[in-house]
Structure 1
Amino acid sequence: MTPISELTNTQPTDLQGLSVELETVMGGIKSLQINQEASVQSLQRTYKEHGAVMIEQLHGNLSTNIDKCFNSSVGTSGNNLKEEMCWSVLSILNEFDNITVKELNDIKEEVISIKGSVTSSIHKCTTLHNDLSQFHELVQKIGDNKELCLIASIKCKHIIQQALTLLGKSGKAFNVQRKSVHNVRIPSDSYECSIAGICVLTDGQVLVADSKNKRIKLLNQQYQVVNHWDVTAGPWDICLITSSEVAVAVNDHDSKIHEVQFITVNQGKLVSGRKFQLQHECRGIVHHQGDLFVTSGKELYKYSLSGKLICSLYQDRSADWKVYKCAVSPTGDRLYIITSYLKNKLLTLARDGTLLATYTDPALRDPTGLHVTPAGQVLVCGYRSHTVLQVGWEGESKLANLATEEDGLWYPWSVCYSSTTSSIIVGQWEDNNILVFRVE
């Protein structure tokens, strides 16, 4: 074993640089903590606002129906008018109980679940920030002791890497170990499967959006279809809301169906929940701490969980279907969108929609699938180039071609990473198989 004294002679430590790096990472962790605390407050505010809107609608419905009763009561007795008003009010209250109260309860459960997840992340931020602060103080006191410099450097690098992973700034490139193929077609499917979206639950189960068969399919950890749910139109994307609930982007251009459908996984069964309508096409969807980001093909919008449009973040109206799919960094400070049809770009945006970076690559020919891992690794599918590649979290450079046509990839349509199995799952267009690449 090499003595520490010899290591210090060959591996000098830049304490000043280490100190600056610690300060930078500490600033990032503190900023993340502040943003997460703001997200919790925003979630609670959203729920209260939606509840107030529901109550206001109830009052409006009651007033409107009472007015109708009075206006249509000419020549009727007082008893008939009273009875008609009672039935009208009861009908409205029953509808409120059966639909609106359930919707409010659903949103409340979502808020509680997301708040719990964010609170856990805030705790991690606090712990990491305290550890970083202690190391920063230690580095300031070490002076010229080479052995202590090396020990501090090794320990600091470890804690800094933990912080960078939490910040979604991992520079690690995936290394593919092996591939497996799994058939997701079921007997009642009318067409070959076209997997437009993939989502992995925290327990390792997988949901795939089969756009051609208009179905959401639940796969177990062995990637076998165990349940499915038919939606009103083609599901074009799917994202995780809580540990057991997803939101689906449902869209049909011809019949003008544009909606977000919520689905819960309960004991191996898919249960349909509430949904809300959109005034534009619905092609891509991703969720982050109570915010829903939806693409229309021409714009990127931000919605609340209750379906309230917050703002438009980015638009490109020069041709059809360019703002296609979207993804968000683990910290929520960066948004990614892919632009198809001649544009062939990955765009990185700030939270407010400001363009930060543009990436182009021959392997990104007609990009279709987009996903960001919990560590911040960006995965993109090149549909016509038959490639899945990994881009750095800054959105400026390629780290690796993870899979190509030589690996059996053919028109990849969607991609997702499973932390449970350390695997990249790829869905394809008009292909009954999904490909699973085990990575390190």
Structure 2
Amino acid sequence: MLKEMKKLQDDQEASIRYVQSTYDKQLHTIQETRREINLVLDTIEQKTLKEMKDTLTKLQAASKSDVEKRVRLQDELKQLRDAIQDISYKSKLELSFIATRKWEEKIKQSYIFLKKDSHQVKISITFQPNTKIVQYLSKLPGLGSIEHSTHMVMEQEDPNKVFTVQWKSVQNVRISSDSFQCSISAICVLLDGQILVVDSNNKKVKLLDQQYQVVSHCSMTGYPHDLCQTIPSEVAVTLNDHENYTHEVQFITVNNNMLVTGWKFQVLHTCYGIAHHQGDLYITAGTALYKYTMSGRQISKMYEDKLGPNTGKTQSGLI
């Protein structure tokens, strides 16, 4: 017994060291994610600064052109004035008349220029921030989801060792609006301990608290089969309505102990099992496995059992 207790203690201490090492590794991943976000923000900032610099250059070029016109007009007026005075002193009436006419034309141009310039206002550059960026970032729960998993370590000296059921209990999840016997085809436990179950017979998804009491439910448009967690407070449910030949994935959000149905998308095949991994959905259809984006776009058919439904093992769900 002492030997077994010592081994258990060593295993637990090794487990503590292992979880610390995984924590350090994932902490590095979080820091790398932050650096990637910073790089994207730096790129957006540089584009904005370049756009503002281009605007400044364009405005300065236009103002510089007006200044050059004003200086050139002033020089021409001074030259004509001096020429008229010089001709007048020499009593050359014909030349004086010609110079005066040119001077009058320049005076008209000057009046037009001054009138235009007098109505100009000061030009300024303003920056209007894209508030949607801050609003979007502020609504995010974090840089990603934190998950943990437990790995059963099998002892090499006992290859026949199997899992052992420690305890079980029977819970009643039937509610007054149920018309048929409950048939639980899928279950999902959220990070806060709340439990979602799929009651296929009654076309419902039910939310249970940690005491397995039904605290909320929502009715489905078809028969639900499976569900998986996508983000900490959201799940995706597979539905099939064989009478109307529709097959869908319905998203449900848990908000203040209430189930709220969100958007959904249809697929062109039956959908039974569903799993979420790294932003993609994996859906089984009897004897085939499909990969979808979260927006409902089919990426690929990953696998199909050509021999038929009797040999297919993908109908019940995904592991």
TM-score range, shorter chain: 0.5 to 0.7
Could you say which residue in structure 2 is the equivalent of 1:287?
276
Kindly provide the amino acid, as one letter, of the partner of residue 277 in structure 2.
H
**Distance in 2 separating the partners of 1:190 and 1:226:** 18
* Equivalent position of 2:206 in the other structure: 217
* 1:195-274 superposed matches below 5 A: 195-274=184-263
Q: CA deviation at 1:212?
A: 1.1
Q: Given the alignment of the two structures, is residue 297 of structure 1 paired with residue 286 of structure 2, yes or no?
A: yes
Structure-1 separation of matches of 2:314 and 2:291: 18
Residue 295 (structure 1) shift: 0.5
The equivalent of 1:116 in structure 2 is 144
SS at match of 1:175: coil
Find the residue that maps to 2:171 and give its secondary structure: strand
Q: Is the 8 A contact 1:212 1:234 kept in 2?
A: yes
Structure 1 residue 276 and structure 2 residue 268: aligned?
no
Paired residue type of 1:261: Q
- Shift in alpha-carbon separation, 1:188–1:284, aligned structure 2, 3 A: same
Q: Deviations over 1:361-405 (max 9, x none)?
A: xxxxxxx4665xxxxxxxxxxxxxxxxxxxxxxxxxxxxxxxxxx
Query: Gaps spanning 5+ residues in structure 2: where?
Result: 7-20, 41-131, 156-161
Q: Deviations over 1:179-222 (max 9, x none)?
A: 21001111111111111111111111111111111100111111
Instruction: Indicate how the Cα distance of structure 1 residues 113 and 308 shifts in structure 2: closer, same or farther if over 3 A, else same.
Output: farther
Q: Cα offset for 1:236?
A: 0.5
Task: State the alpha-carbon separation in 2 of the partners of residues 322 and 273 from structure 1.
Answer: 35
Give 1 or 2 for the bigger CA radius of gyration: 2
Matched with 2:307 is 318
Letter in 1 for 2:180: Y
The answer to whether residue 185 in structure 2 is matched with residue 181 in structure 1 is no
Tell me the SS of whatever aligns to 2:186. Answer: strand
Q: Secondary structure at the match of 1:178?
A: coil
Task: Return the alpha-carbon distance in structure 1 between the equivalents of residues 273 and 231 of structure 2.
Answer: 18
In structure 2, C-alpha distance between the alignment counterparts of 1:289 and 1:295, rounded to whole Å? 17
For residues 97-137 of structure 1, the C-alpha deviation after alignment (integer angstroms, 9 at most, x for no partner) is xxxxxxx99xx79x9558422xx57xx9xxxxxxxxxxxxx
Q: Is the 8 A contact 2:273 2:284 kept in 1?
A: yes
171-180 or 265-274, larger mean C-alpha shift: 171-180
TM-score (normalised: structure 2): 0.52
Please say if residues 239 and 248 of structure 1, whose CA atoms lie closer than 8 Å, have aligned partners that are also in contact: yes
Alignment partner, residue 98 of structure 1: none
Structure 1 gap segments, 5+ residues each: 8-25, 46-103, 125-164, 324-337, 341-367, 372-440
Checking the alignment, whether the CA contact within 8 Å between 1:321 and 1:339 is kept in structure 2 is: no
Q: How many residues align?
A: 197
The alpha-carbon deviation at position 320 of structure 1 amounts to: 3.1
The aligned amino acid for 1:217 is: K
Measure how far apart 1:296 and its partner are: 0.8
Indicate how the Cα distance of structure 1 residues 235 and 193 shifts in structure 2: closer, same or farther if over 3 A, else same: same
Distance (Å, rounded) in 2 between the aligned partners of 1:263 and 1:251? 16
1:360-399 correspondence runs (5 A): 368=316, 371=319
Question: What's the Cα RMSD here?
Answer: 4.1
Query: In 2 relative to 1, CA 259–297 (structure 1 residues): closer, same or farther, beyond 3 Å?
Result: same
Q: How does 1:36-47 map to 2 (within 5 A)?
A: none
- The within-5 A match list for 1:30-69 is none
**Secondary structure of 1:193 counterpart:** coil
- In structure 2, the partner of 1:161 is none
Q: Is the 8 A contact 1:114 1:242 kept in 2?
A: no
TM-score, with structure 1 as normaliser: 0.39
Deviation at 1:170, TM superposition (A): 4.4
Superposed displacement of residue 169, structure 1: 7.2
Matches of 1:185 and 1:322, distance apart in 2: 34
What is the 5 A alignment of 1:150-169?
none
| Aligned equivalents of 2:292, 2:191: Cα separation in 1 | 24
Change (3 A) 1:268 1:213: same
